[in-house]
Copies of this chain bind each other. A is one copy, B any other.
Amino acid sequence: MTHMRPSATPPDDVDRGIPEATIARLPIYLRALTGLAERGMRTASSEQLAAATGVNSAKLRKDLSYLGSYGTRGVGYDVEYLRYQIAREIGVTEDWPVLIVGIGNLGQALSNYGGFSSRGFRIVALLDGDPARVGEQLGDLVISSMDDLDSIVAREAVSIAVIATPGSAAQGVVDRLVAAGVTSILNFAPSVLTVPPGVDVRKVDLSIELQILAYHEQRKAHGGTQLAVSDEVVTL
């Protein structure tokens, strides 16, 4: 793909503009392929991958076609080859250094989570705003002060950070992260973050997920139209 394709394709080539919805599914395919590879499967059809990922097979094929023609008609996809191509597309053939800010319950849980290294990430620093926590050992890392943020970002070439602080602290932390050069943020704090253009933020919010479940649960409960929502919820 370094060489030009001569034909009708416009100058900006193949992998320009992969739909966001597809990108969000590539990690799912990647994980499924890793699983299949571990179980010794050498090749997989779109139907098999669909079963393993819970994604419609036509959608899956279309997703993969955005990356290029990596399948073989009549055969399927070479598991290892496709796995590598997806990893390359996502950009996780090598580990990204990640830092975590806010070492409370959640921050600790994240720092102990082992699944990162196998999925393209390596936690290089833990930061907390509470001076009393600085210096504390956690696994093989020591909690650093927020004052060391700039030097850590520079030294480790960090571009991705995770925020696990209370909501009230989040925006301040984001501002400092952005100033230090971080350009991708995964936010666990329950607050809306404002960032300059060029910085990506993704949000994970437990309460929101539960509330969405609660909405549907409520509909299941009093099955028909609304029934007697009036005074305290009846629950049945």
CA distance A116 to B209 in the complex (A): 12
Q: Is the CB of B24 within 8 A of A212?
A: yes
Known contacts A24-B212, A200-B213, A208-B24; A91 and B184 CB within 8 A of each other: no
* Chain B, residue nearest A224 (CB): B12
Bitwise, A189-224 to B at CB < 8 A (1) or not (0) is 010101000101010111111111111111011000
Size range of the interface on A? 35 or more
Copies of this chain, count: 2
* Chain B, residue nearest A200 (CB): B216
Q: Is the CB of B217 within 8 A of A183?
A: yes
Known contacts A27-B208, A106-B113; A216 and B184 CB within 8 A of each other: yes
Taking the complex as formed, is A230 at the interface, i.e. its CB lies under 8 A from any CB of chain B? Answer: yes
CA distance A184 to B220 in the complex (A): 10
Taking the complex as formed, is A160 at the interface, i.e. its CB lies under 8 A from any CB of chain B? Answer: yes
Q: Is the CB of A214 within 8 A of B110?
A: no
CA distance A108 to B113 in the complex (A): 13
Q: Is the CB of A213 within 8 A of B229?
A: no
Choose among B205, B214, B225 the residue that contacts A92 (Cβ–Cβ < 8 A).
B214
Taking the complex as formed, is A165 at the interface, i.e. its CB lies under 8 A from any CB of chain B? Answer: no
Q: Is the CB of B12 within 8 A of A225?
A: yes
When A and B form their complex, which 6 residue pairs have the shortest distance between CB atoms, in order from nearest? A91-B218, A105-B109, A109-B109, A184-B213, A27-B211, A27-B208
**A–B complex contacts, Cβ < 8 Å, 14 sampled:** A27-B207, A27-B208, A31-B207, A54-B194, A88-B229, A90-B215, A91-B218, A94-B233, A96-B217, A105-B109, A157-B235, A184-B213, A200-B216, A200-B217
